[in-house]
Amino acid sequence: MASHPNRVAFTEGVAILLNSWPILRTAVESGWGGPESEEKQKWFIDTLVDYIGQRGQRIEPEEVEHIMLQILTDEFNVADIEDSSVYHLAAYMVKLYKECVTGNHQCIQRLKEEAQKKSQGTLQLAETHTDSESDSTEFEDTSAEESTSESDDNMDST
């Protein structure tokens, strides 16, 4: 069964955010998660999308921040993040979720446009660089459909 367009859009947004986050990008590029760092990055995205979708409208940024910090510590050996980027990303993901479940994908579109601009800028500076952003949207919903509120039905049903 195909994923609902709202879920697809939300997954794309989370992937763009995490794939462009310097802390995670450095952890993956440096292999801090071991030889499976790239797979762990994809799993990280899927885990956040699933968790936020299960919590639905009840989700709070602090919950997402806690999970992100736990995954960074357990899977990538990243601890003691001294900036507030984790909280800001978590809050933005909650905002994206709440917009996506209503069918509003404008924030996702803006994220895509910003990522494309950054990617094109990078491509112009380093002509041999390949655009890894396109791979970030190929995540499938492998979990059983779960809806915990009416708004979750907008995310997981067809």
Question: Sign of dihedral through CA atoms 71, 73, 78, 81?
Answer: positive
Whole-Å CA distances, 144 to 3, 50, 54, 97, 107: 11, 10, 11, 18, 26
Q: Which of 2, 28, 33, 1 is nearest to 15 (CA)?
A: 28
Q: What is the pLDDT of residue 145?
A: 35
State the maximum Cα–Cα separation within the chain, in Å, rounded to a whole number. Answer: 47
pLDDT score, position 4: 92
Query: What are the φ and ψ backbone dihedral angles of 93, each rounded to 5 degrees?
Result: -65, -40
Q: Using alpha carbons, select from 42, 9, 38, 24 the residue that is nearest to residue 111.
A: 9
| Domain ranges within the chain, ordered by starting residue | 5-123
Residue 34 has pLDDT above 90, yes or no: yes
Question: Taking the mean position of all CA atoms in its chain, how far away is CA 33?
Answer: 17
Neighbouring residues of 85: CB distance < 8 A, sequence distance ≥ 6: 21, 22, 23
The predicted-structure confidence for 69-127, as pLDDT tens digits, reads as follows: 999 999 999 988 889 999 999 999 999 999 999 999 999 999 999 888 887 765 444 33
For residues 128 and 44, the model is more confident at 44
E strand or H helix at 102: none
pLDDT of res. 119? 77
In sequence order, the 6+-apart residues with CB closer than 8 A to the CB of 68 are 48, 86, 89, 90
Q: What is the percentage of the chain residues whose pLDDT exceeds 70?
A: 75
Q: Structure pTM?
A: 0.75
Report residue 138's pLDDT band, with 50, 70 and 90 as the boundaries: very low
Residue 151 above 80 pLDDT?
no
pLDDT value at position 146?
Answer: 36
Average pLDDT, the chain: 81
pLDDT on residue 123: 44
Q: Is a pLDDT exceeding 90 seen at residue 11?
A: yes
